[in-house]
Amino acid sequence: MTDLTGGSPTPRQRPSWLSPNLWWLVIPAILFILLFFLIPVLSLFASSFDKAMPGQITFQGNFSWNNYERIFSRSLYYTAIWRSVWLGATVAGVCLVIGYPLAFIIARTFRAGTATLLTILVLSSMQLDMVIRLYGLMVLMGDKGLINTGLIALGITSEPLPLMYNEVGVIVGLVQVTLPFMVLSLIGSIRSINPALEEAARSLGSSRWHVMRTITWPLSLPGIYAGTLLVFALAISSYVVPALMGGWKVITLPIHIYQQIAEVGRWQFGAAVATLLFLTSLFAMALYVVALRRNAGGRV
């Protein structure tokens, strides 16, 4: 940067908040992540290669591939892998279809009071405990719930519809739990789009649908990818929703982890299933980064 008085260029000053003394403030966060995330994950990964010994928790150092061979040699387990991935992808797609219009309305609402009210309505569902919310869905969607009782009373159907204890019930429960995360991810992305771009396209004769398809949607891709990734990760790692809404009939990877560790005491095999679930999430994140770089101009 050149001095206005005509002198020699002066070096750009570093902001005060980048002072080396302030970097000590991140040490508690680093220690917390190291102690409560990295060490448990690495321990879990190491235990997955240990020889299976029921009731043995600590790592023994007996290297073996038997845990992973058992996963991929029995259809029960790799079927659960595909079911978990399919449920996660389906829930992410449903949340995107439902959440994008709502997020667009909130982001484009000029009255601050209206936008705040809509945001509070989105966040209100997160204030209740997940188990309470799921029991509410069970009251609504059970064989003798409000929906089936109303349909039978109106003569629309003579038997209760199978709305629970199957994949439909699990999808509805996961969408109800994860939808606010999708909406919040999309609101910030849509608000960052300059409305002048849409107004310019409209002034040149483009229809609303054409503006949405060619301007708004592409520019909101970072929020779309972030929301779908977050919802997918939450969906495939959920245990409570498949257990309650699926009635232990929709077996996913988290349910296998619970059964192997809590019921049978096979920590090593449960660690292998958990490691596989973790690697699946990492693979989804890698696809997210590649897709975002390719379709969103590298805004990662």
Task: Give the count of beta carbons closer than 10 Å to the beta carbon of residue 16.
Answer: 7
Using alpha carbons, select from 253, 261, 278, 271 the residue that is nearest to residue 48.
Answer: 271
113: pLDDT confidence band, cut at 50, 70 and 90? confident
Architecture of domain 76-295: Orthogonal Bundle (1.10)
Residue-range domain boundaries for the chain: 76-295
Residue % of the chain over a pLDDT of 90: 43
pLDDT digits 0-9 by tens, 32-44: 999 998 998 888 8
238: pLDDT confidence band, cut at 50, 70 and 90? very high
Q: Which residues pair with 63 in a beta bridge?
A: 50
Q: Which long-range contacts link 50-57 to residues 24+ away (Cβ below 8 Å)?
A: 50/268, 50/271, 51/268, 52/266, 52/268, 52/269, 53/268, 54/264, 54/265, 54/266, 55/265, 55/267, 56/267, 56/268, 57/267
**Average pLDDT in the chain:** 86
Backbone angles phi, psi at 59, to 5 degrees: -75, 130
pLDDT of residue 149: 93
Mean pLDDT of 14-29: 71
pLDDT of residue 246: 93
Q: Which residues pair with 50 in a beta bridge?
A: 63
Helix ranges (H only) for 142-266 are 146-153, 167-191, 195-203, 208-211, 217-219, 221-236, 240-245, 253-258
Query: Distance (Å, rounded) from C-alpha 214 to C-alpha 14?
Result: 40
Say yes or no to pLDDT of 96 above 90: yes
Mean pLDDT of 280-289: 82
pLDDT digits 0-9 by tens, 181-215: 999 999 999 999 988 888 898 888 888 898 998 99
pLDDT of residue 2: 47
Cβ(180)–Cβ(125) under 8 Å? yes
